[in-house]
Amino acid sequence: MNIIEFKDVNKIYPNGTRALQDVTFSVEPGEFVFVIGESGAGKSTIVKLLTCEERPSQGLVILDGQDVSELPDKYVPFLRRKVGMIFQDFRLIASRTVAENVAYAMEVTGASPKEIKRRVPLVLSVVGLKNKADVFPAQLSGGEGQRVGIARALVNNPRLILADEPTGNLDPVNGEAIMALLERINRNGTTIIACTHDQNLVNKMQKRVLQLEKGELSRDEYCGNYYCLSADDDIMPIEEKVEYNYNSEADETAYVSNENEDDLQFNHKLDLLSNEKGNLLDSLKQDSESRRTRTSSFNRTKEMKEILRRIDERVQQREALRKQNEIKKAQKNRDNPENNIMEPEEL
């Protein structure tokens, strides 16, 4: 079953502006789709129709099998729990810490304090911000701010994430890191719809592209590029595909030197651990699946406990590796005669 279906959707705003015209497309669960187009093409309107912030003037908008075109307002909050939102300007609450911002998204769904306490560190770990849990938004870089936005979108285990210009306020490096993180989340099964006019990112990612022109769907292409006009007005792709290898836990990896064999091995081991821990998303997904399919809260609690136990174990393993490496280094320094030459003032 499709997770999203637009059937002949038209949207005319009350002032008469036609934002969408006869738009029809569907998205399967697990897809990563870019919605591209110039400013005013209708990208945000598509997002707003999916979150029921706006209603179609004509046509059907179906989300996860449910026709939301005329969904009564009182059901909208329930619908929004299925969807994680990421905004261009992050929309973090300035007076709350990173952890509190993420927790808030769970609080509004009525989650228990115990569940919040468990899940917030998990998702902060997934986006590589566990160490910033107690920091306020003003103390974050742009890239970090958006990673909080992603953690907040992820915390309720949504099947769908809608990102409206997620890299619009970021420099290219941070923009790529955010896209790579979204791609990683998508690889774990979450459907992602990202509206953007960032040509380079679209070309690099080679995902499905829905292009809007003046409210009409002009292109629906898998592994698409964002096209530009060359000097002689031929349409051509801008860049070749680039593989990302973003490690969301990189900021937890304190040791980064690769000067010698020991260090290389050590970093390799750390990478393996990071990858394992990065796969927390798998655990979150499994947790989400079990939520849907099981009714026993006892089993869910047991599973969450097991996830947390495994995280603790991995953190301890990392610490042990770090310590081992420090000891090895210290021993090497001691064994090296050059390091044993005493400075004149020490004599």
Contact between 193 and 160 under an 8 Å Cβ cutoff? The reply is yes
Instruction: Name the minimum Å distance from CB 15 to ligand ADP.
Output: 5
Instruction: Name the minimum Å distance from CB 44 to ligand ADP.
Output: 3
Contact between 253 and 270 under an 8 Å Cβ cutoff? The reply is yes
Instruction: Name the minimum Å distance from CB 19 to ligand ADP.
Output: 3
Work out the angle at residue 31's Cα, subtended by the Cα atoms of residues 6 and 59, and round it to the nearest 5 degrees.
Answer: 0
Instruction: Name the minimum Å distance from CB 136 to ligand ADP.
Output: 30
186-209 core/surface letters (b: 16 or more CB in 10 A; e: else): bebbbbbbbbbbbbbbbbbbbbbb
Site for ligand ADP in 26-85 (CB under 6 A): 37, 39-45
Question: Which of 156, 79, 304, 107 minimizes the C-alpha distance to 296?
Answer: 304
Instruction: Name the minimum Å distance from CB 4 to ligand ADP.
Output: 16
246-273 core/surface letters (b: 16 or more CB in 10 A; e: else): bbbbeebbeeeeeeeeebeebbeebeeb
Q: Near ligand ADP by CB under 6 A, which window of 9-17, 131-139, 148-156, 243-251? A: 9-17
213 near ligand ADP, rule: CB under 6 A: no
19 near ligand ADP, rule: CB under 6 A: yes
Q: Which tokens in the block code for residue 7? A: 């059937």
Instruction: Name the minimum Å distance from CB 225 to ligand ADP.
Output: 19
Question: Which of 193, 155, 176 minimizes the C-alpha distance to 280?
Answer: 155
Among the listed residues 1, 15, 295, 346, the single contact to ligand ADP using CB under 6 A: 15
Nearer to ligand ADP by Cβ, of 41 and 105: the residue is 41
Binders of ligand ADP: how many residues, by CB under 6 A?
A: 12
218 near ligand ADP, rule: CB under 6 A: no
- Residues lying near ligand ADP in the complex (CB under 6 A) are found at 13, 15, 17, 19, 37, 39-45
